[in-house]
Amino acid sequence: MALDVGWVERYERACKHRMDPPRVHRDPPVTAPPLISRDRAVVKAHLLETFSELLEPLIDAAFSGELTARDAERRAWDAVLQIGRLLLTVLFAAICRCATEAALAATGRSVVDVKLRMDVDYWPTVVSTFGPVSFPWFAFRDPGGVQVPARALFPLHGRCCSSQLCLEWETALASDHPFRKAAQALGFFTHGAVDLEDTTVERHAVLAGSQIAREWQYRTPAEIREILLDRATRDTTTGRPLIYSSTDAHALRRYVDLTWRASWKMINGIRLWCIDRTTGETVHLGGEYTWGDCREVASRYVELQRSGHLPADGDYGDGVVAQIVLPTDGTDWIAQHILPLFPNAEIPLDPYHVVEQVADAAAKAFPRSKKKARRVVKRARRALGIRDKRPRTVNRKGPRRRLHLTRHVPFDGDATQLLDVLVPILETLSGRARQRWETLLEYVRGNQHRMAYGELRNRGLKIGSGAIESLHRIASQLRLKLSGARWTADVAQNVLNIRMLTLSGRWDEFWSQPDLAARIATAERRA
């Protein structure tokens, strides 16, 4: 059982440029080198000898003064990568041998009772984070044919060239960068050890994203209950912790009608959050995106109620009953499909959306006088309690960081004060301007019960929908709304799934699932 390590190195170099195993040295069969022997002492001695051979020239060059600082660091990385590949070869080979021994022991046999297939056809190559690694399957022949028990340990092999950890790295980079830049970044951060095409990174990321079910994009109900109990702000009237949720849509360029024309399609986002009572920061509790319409969004909220992420009555168990707050922009589809699902929720109308409506109507009412339009908008802002001067915040750093407002924005207005400003203007208008102003008044009167801003603020409630707007930026637009980017619905959805998994804080938990690689391999076969 002797095979020089140089053959393994030549094999790895060949596989770096070609993933198919080179069809050489078929006869006689290749046997296992000492580094994959069953004797642990032999394996350790061989590794130490090889490591010494790699390190001695580097140390000698440093002590002889032949190295610059930059060359020293580059050569050190080269040595680390070689050591890593060799060590990973040993580890992979060891677990493969153990799988073979376990399979034989189940039938009352051992490795001495069968003929091990150690030729090159049974040496798979996997792209690891250290680069391509080749190792033996420890396959064996029996009357039923060649058996490869260790293949079950590498379910991705044959469908995906990457190891499970390399696949995770690809997915993380693809969720933050265009696929071509993700491939370049992967090569950069692995010091050239991993060289994959951008199409490969895309395919792998989409496969991983397809396995991120919606529950992974939210914190668990138990985690939400603990956060509400320990960190969330509370309703000063009832003492209940406050949990917020909102939905909103924004446009992305999507592949439609079998063309890559820049067609804008709306994608709907959902977010759960609360406010940290110590720092005033937004605590993300989960969220998701869907290409579906308003009925699909409503069904997602029904699922959140069933799964316990957002109970209709706010009861999370163990005595934690939250007050649900649903900030809205006043659009009809939210009022018709979402708000009836939560009869006990507080539903503030975002004041800045109200101001947008006023500004749009004023621009149409006074098309020849921007000064008059701006004056109306300014009066509307004051009626709602919005001050022109924004507050100055002071952040105290450290473990007891608190948010202090030196000037308070009261938001003490309401719909009655706003109508006092808007109604008299109606008598001065005619034609289409009057029709638009009547629509504005209908909008305000229809949402009058949601605009008691002074009362809501005194209870400690946030009245704006800025949290869902900011989610669009950090979760969707930052990655998908790039210059010239156009998306198929499937790829965009899976990239969004990955980004929402990252925000939920459950990345490591997701990738630690023991059956994840098998499910990804199954999805690849179906694709």
More confident site: 366 or 33: 366
4 pLDDT more than 50: no
More confident site: 22 or 424: 424
Distance CA 170, CA 178 (A): 11
Which pLDDT value is given to residue 260? 80
pLDDT band at residue 32, thresholds of 50, 70 and 90? very low
Residue 390, judged by CB atoms within 10 A of its CB (0-12, 13-18, 19+), counts as: exposed
Over residues 108-129, the mean pLDDT reads 89
Over residues 415-431, the mean pLDDT reads 91
Highest-pLDDT range among 218-227, 428-437, 453-462: 218-227
Q: Using one digit for the tens of pLDDT, what is the confidence trace for 501-510? A: 999 999 999 9
Which pLDDT value is given to residue 22? 36
271 pLDDT more than 60: yes
Distance CA 16, CA 31 (A): 22
125-128 and 131-134 beta bridge pairing: antiparallel
Which pLDDT value is given to residue 112? 86
Q: Using one digit for the tens of pLDDT, what is the confidence trace for 473-496? A: 999 999 999 988 899 999 999 999
Which pLDDT value is given to residue 119? 84
21 pLDDT more than 50: no
31 pLDDT more than 60: no
Which pLDDT value is given to residue 393? 52
419 pLDDT more than 70: yes
Report the candidate in 349, 350, 288, 301 with the shortest Cα–Cα distance to residue 496: 288
User: What does the buried/exposed string (b/e) look like for 440-450 if buried means 16 or more CB atoms within 10 Å of the residue's CB?
Assistant: bbebbeebeeb
228 pLDDT more than 70: yes
Q: Using one digit for the tens of pLDDT, what is the confidence trace for 365-401? A: 998 889 999 999 999 998 888 865 555 555 555 555 5
More confident site: 407 or 183: 183
More confident site: 110 or 275: 275
User: What does the buried/exposed string (b/e) look like for 265-282 if buried means 16 or more CB atoms within 10 Å of the residue's CB?
Assistant: eebbbbbbbbbbbeeeeb
Which pLDDT value is given to residue 400? 57
312 pLDDT more than 50: yes
Which pLDDT value is given to residue 220? 97
User: What does the buried/exposed string (b/e) look like for 20-38 if buried means 16 or more CB atoms within 10 Å of the residue's CB?
Assistant: ebeeeeeeeebebbbbbbe
Tally of CB atoms within 10 A around 56:
10
Instruction: Quote the mean pLDDT of the chain.
Output: 87
Which pLDDT value is given to residue 35? 63
80 pLDDT more than 50: yes
Distance CA 63, CA 307 (A): 64
Asked if 451 and 354 count as a contact pair (C-beta separation under 8 A), the reply is yes
Which pLDDT value is given to residue 396? 57
Q: Which H/E stretch holds residue 273?
A: strand 259-275
Residue 501, SS3?
helix
Asked if 291 and 269 count as a contact pair (C-beta separation under 8 A), the reply is no
Which pLDDT value is given to residue 33? 58
Which residues, in sequence order, are CB contacts of 514 under 8 Å at separation 6+? none
At which residue do the structure tokens 């009057």 appear?
434
Distance CA 239, CA 277 (A): 13
Over residues 41-69, the mean pLDDT reads 90
**What's phi and psi for 368, nearest 5 deg?**
-100, 0
Asked if 282 and 273 count as a contact pair (C-beta separation under 8 A), the reply is yes
527 pLDDT more than 80: no
Tally of CB atoms within 10 A around 432:
10
Which pLDDT value is given to residue 3? 35
Report the candidate in 133, 34, 125 with the shortest Cα–Cα distance to residue 87: 133
pLDDT band at residue 218, thresholds of 50, 70 and 90? very high
Order the strands of the 115-117 sheet from edge to edge.
Answer: 115-117, 139-142, 145-147
Q: Using one digit for the tens of pLDDT, what is the confidence trace for 182-196? A: 999 999 999 999 999
Helix axes 198-210, 179-189, angle to 10 degrees: 100
40 pLDDT more than 90: no
Q: What is the DSSP letter of 389?
A: S
263 pLDDT more than 70: yes
- Alpha helices, DSSP H only, in 25-163? 40-63, 69-105
242-256 and 323-325 beta bridge pairing: parallel
At which residue do the structure tokens 């018709």 appear?
336
pLDDT band at residue 224, thresholds of 50, 70 and 90? very high
